[in-house]
A and B are shown apart, each in its own frame.
Chain A
């Protein structure tokens, strides 16, 4: 067995254990209904997590996720509800704005060698501030298009509902996996995170790759914001505060190394579903407050980083472990 799949297997194991436990307590976890709901409820931040996986594999970080989602929601609500824009046109505009926003962050990170932490922290404040400037109130969206989307459901036999959001999530997932493993862009992202200096010498277009990674993430984050606005029928500038930290946690629990170079989009998906399962379980159980999810995330995160540390010290995943040896006589 390949050691690089070990974190992924751990992620899968945790998911199976959690799901089996939830199923043993509530039969409903065996129904398509819960599965449909899991996909629907976690679609928006799951989409953001796919983007974050690329960022972290490239050796970076993006803290602006929650703010961009809030800004997207407020922007859509304002344009559609107050200014009467067509929803599809609004989506195109906000996706363009989001992508440019991410590309700009990537540009600063690459060109001026400013740590991604700082650049995206600025992005966090900027996007959140812009959301508040647009509106401090929650704006309701009443538009026939929003109703149509809500009605766009495929019903499984046992009342399972496969919604538009769930579909979008799965499409993003498949595209993410394809990008990561079957395109030169994807492999360049891995190379960049594995050893940036060597990547440059090996001819990886470092600047273009960095900018594309952040643009892709902000694009997906904006898409996540649209999915959330569709689900909530509103835009609210106070929403999704700190969501980036949940997203980062899911990526790490999904087996991606925070130092970059190693990770799987599918792992992130499994981690998102794991956390979703726990959330649903806590809601159904009712005896524990839902905030226990935060404690579980903390424990899992710690356990996974510990596992990574263990693996890397044993096998030198993080770098070329220079094996000293006596040179010939």
Chain B
């Protein structure tokens, strides 16, 4: 199947696509070729440029360089709607249909069959039913869209897109909230689309599925194309190597010297057993000792952040127990977690962590004040003293404590969030991607701070995509894949090779 279109003109061809944003080059000179009847997977970590590439092809962003050819003719998509008129349809992870209308109406909205100047509801229903049947989905099309599962809704969105004369279908993370059976159903629809000669671009984090359904894989990293392969010719380890951008070497890297053994002697601080939540993470055990740094590694979407959310009570576990210092504890909300001495620095500091318009001092005081209760007001003097201490301790680069946080650099914002948790003196800190998007200098400083905190006896759980960093500070590394804990690596086994091999293991 995959070799069919080779000699013919490719269905979609992008040459030298480039997109420059004020601060970064999001996509640099990327070529991409899609043949009719192929499923072409687009993989890469966050910020690799997958969504930028799709947005250029579908006309969400204007491109800054390169050409797009559809069936050999140059096109300039101006908007998603225009792209759809040209024959490029997109189905998003979040289904973009009308939940309150019937399935048939969703498929035919804006192009309902008319009779005597009126909408012909019967014809609408009949045609919708037939369309879905062609894809092996036999459902009552007069029922509301919202009464069907996300998988069916996604198929309905696909059917609508394809029926609007799609040549190219882009599926953006279509399977991320589906169970196995639903994925199979979706895949059978994708296979029948292949047979009709539609070219499909698939974006997904689930590598197993990439191997199951696609013909070709293009790997992007940091806005550049790293490789394009036939799926049959790409071993999994090589794929992961390309995604993460690390060369697998035979010799083991030297491990950070001050790590592990010396510190790992503390008592168990937190132990969770069989923690899980259906649809988020499968049951996992985890133990973190005082003064120990546990790294949480895995690809994007592997369930790392979900583990942190379960432990911190942002999402409730529906199975398993937690023990804090040996005592069984039920942590059902972040508030409870904080009372037990937990702290969490979230992944996206702009969305979840920082309140940009408040000053450095106010941001630092926030959690402590919340912990003390709002009636037990911290005096201004005390606030100033605490803020000044933290600014010094973490060397936050700000002229004074009253500067609005949004005017600081990313690294310094991250330090402010850290400071917020440090002043309430937590025993256990969860850091989710603490070094993302900050400059090199600040990066090194944050890592120093992390190590210092562990030395002071704090238990730490750190999520990071930067393998070198994880290797540097972790006493133990927990490997996640597809929302499961795969294995744990102990002190001497920790290096970039072992982590990558663990992620790729079959």
Contact = CB atoms under 8 A, between A and B. Distances in A.
Is chain B found bound to chain A in the same assembly? Answer: yes
Interface of A: 2-4, 178, 181-184, 187-188, 190-191, 193-195, 197-199, 201-204, 257, 261-262, 315-329
Interface in B319-337: none
A320 B118 contact: no
Given A181-B119, A261-B101, A328-B183, A320 B178 contact: no
Given A199-B98, A315-B146, A184 B112 contact: yes
B280 interface: yes
Given A2-B144, A327-B179, A329-B180, 8 more contacts: A2-B143, A181-B119, A184-B112, A193-B100, A195-B98, A202-B106, A325-B178, A328-B208
A257 B101 CA distance: 13
Nearest to B187: A328
Given A187-B109, A194-B98, A319-B99, A326 B150 contact: no
B98 A202 contact: yes
A274 B226 CA distance: 69
Interface in B146-166: 146-147, 149-150, 153, 160
B116 to A, nearest CB: 9
Contact of A320 (B150, B179, B208, B209): B150
A320 B99 contact: yes
B81 interface: yes
A269 to B, nearest CB: 20
Question: Interface range on chain B: under 10, 10 to 19, 20 to 34, or 35 or more?
Answer: 35 or more
Nearest to A2: B143
Nearest to B95: A320
A310 to B, nearest CB: 15
A262 B153 CA distance: 19
B482 interface: yes
B111 to A, nearest CB: 8
Contacts of B208: 328-329
Given A2-B143, A183-B118, A317-B146, A325 B101 contact: no
Contact of A182 (B94, B119, B180): B119
B352 interface: no
A197 B94 CA distance: 11
Contacts of A257: 100
B280 A194 contact: no
Contacts of B16: none
A326 B100 contact: no
Contact of A325 (B121, B160, B182, B206): B182
Contact of B105 (A178, A187, A198, A317): A187
B19 interface: no
Contact of A322 (B98, B177, B179, B182): B177
B483 A326 contact: yes
Given A187-B119, A202-B109, A327-B175, A261 B98 contact: yes
Nearest to A321: B146
B176 interface: yes
B78 to A, nearest CB: 14
B339 interface: no
A124 to B, nearest CB: 29
Interface string B195-208: 00000000000101
A195 B97 contact: yes
B144 A322 contact: no
Nearest to B153: A320
Nearest to B116: A182
A204 B482 contact: no
Contacts of B209: 328
Contacts of A321: 146
A245 B165 CA distance: 47
A320 to B, nearest CB: 5
A151 to B, nearest CB: 36
Nearest to B142: A2
